[in-house]
Amino acid sequence: MKPTRHNYNRAKAVDYFLDKLDNEEIRYSDIRKEMEQERIDADEINIVTKLIDNIIQKTAIDNSKKSNGKHIYHGLDIGYFWNTNYSIYILV
């Protein structure tokens, strides 16, 4: 359900906009505009957009780690070196 001033819930607002982003119905830059049109408080808009941004970044990092892991297991362009503490660093 679209978050409005009258039925506002932060968790539902985050879910609503993440679903719209996943379905490519909205761009990240339009979230603030849509919330402003519904007269949501500016502080709340800042909180929600920051939460959504954090989720997007965490998802991108997690996907990147998974992708790099696949390259390691498949042996694509892997190099490694030892640091002074005898730890192995894998370069992909």
Q: Which amino acid belongs to residue 2?
A: K
User: For residue 17, how many other CB atoms are within 10 A of its CB?
Assistant: 24
Better-scored residue on pLDDT, 35 or 92: 35
Q: Is the pTM above the cut of 0.75?
A: no
- pLDDT, tens digit, 9 for 90 and up, residues 35-67: 999 999 999 999 999 999 999 888 888 877 766
Segment among 13-27, 39-53, 76-90 with least mean pLDDT: 76-90
Q: What is the DSSP letter of 5?
A: S
User: For residue 20, how many other CB atoms are within 10 A of its CB?
Assistant: 16
